[in-house]
Structures are given as structure tokens and as C-alpha cells.
Structure 1
Amino acid sequence: MASFVKDGTPWVYYGSIRGVYVYYAQKQAIHVDEHDTAGLEKIRQELKEFFILTRRRDADEVFRTLDNVKPVFEEKIGNTQMIFLHYEK
């Protein structure tokens, strides 16, 4: 993740903050709680471009809420399948 967000592009962690996912990019994430699609919409209105890290199980909510979201990669972290997405207006 760090190689994708190093240029200053903001990134969002969508989901429960129980994990340490905010550290993977070596840059603090904007946090939006899981199932808070209104929070995702607000971020979309404020930013032209950002990356999103979420659990695979929550990715459908992201795809339904935001247009122009494209998968970058998926990876299993422990027992959790995660997906890293890119949004650009």
C-alpha cells in the first residue's frame, strides 16, 4: 500500500478500526466505520481521488456507494480477506 499512497494521495480505511490496517501505508488513514455509506459519500464530495482499504465482505457497499472505484489488489491478512481500491472522479 505504501507505494500507492506515497505521492500524497489520501486513503480511507472503511471498516472497524480494531485492526492495525492504518499502519500499512505508513500514513494515517481517514477512518469511515463499516456500513457508514453516508460517510463514504461525504469523502467522495470532499476529495477528487483516494484509495480505500476494506474487508472484502464490505467491498460491495463501497461499490454501491461510489462510482469509479477500481480494485488495485486483494490480500489475505491473517484470516481476513482485504481489498485495496482506488477512487477517482
Structure 2
Amino acid sequence: MLLFDFFEMFWNQILIVDLNLKFMHKKKFEYKTVVLKPKVNFWTVEYDPNEMDKTLNQHGNEGWELVSVESREHMGTYLFHYTFKREL
């Protein structure tokens, strides 16, 4: 029985240490929202996919991760709101 008690005590100590480490090292993030506006001509509204890719790649290279995209109507046209996050 002593051997079993020793292993039980040892295992409980490992769990306590593991739980303490998880609570001590919470990740922190910062967030950034970028609004992409279309090119508006007199008759047309155009979105440039190359410009969108350029913006996404620029932020990705800076360590930002895209977490959401939202399109919002503004004065008859739609704007894309990109939300990024990165770990501090």
C-alpha cells in the first residue's frame, strides 16, 4: 500500500504543478481592425483583389492573424472590415 500511496501523492503533485503553470501563463493578444474601401467611379464600385491580398500579406508578415471579416454597408456601398490579432 505504501508504494500506491507514494505514486498517488506524486501524481497529484504533478497535476497541481501543471494546473498552476496553465493559470500563470495566460496568453495575451492585441487586436487591429483594418477597413478596405472600394474604388468608387461614377457608375461602378470596384474591389481590387490584389490590393486585398497586399493588405492581408503585409499584416501576416508583421505577425498578425486574420480572425474575422465583416462587410458593412456605408452610403450605398460595402466596406470590408478585417480584424487581426497577434500575441503580445
Which bin holds the TM-score, normalised by the shorter protein? 0.3 to 0.5
Q: Which has the higher helix share?
A: 2
- Per chain length, whose mean CA-contact separation is higher, i.e. which structure has more relative contact order (CA < 8 Å, sep 6+)? 2
User: TM-score, structure 1 length as denominator?
Assistant: 0.36
User: TM-score, structure 2 length as denominator?
Assistant: 0.36
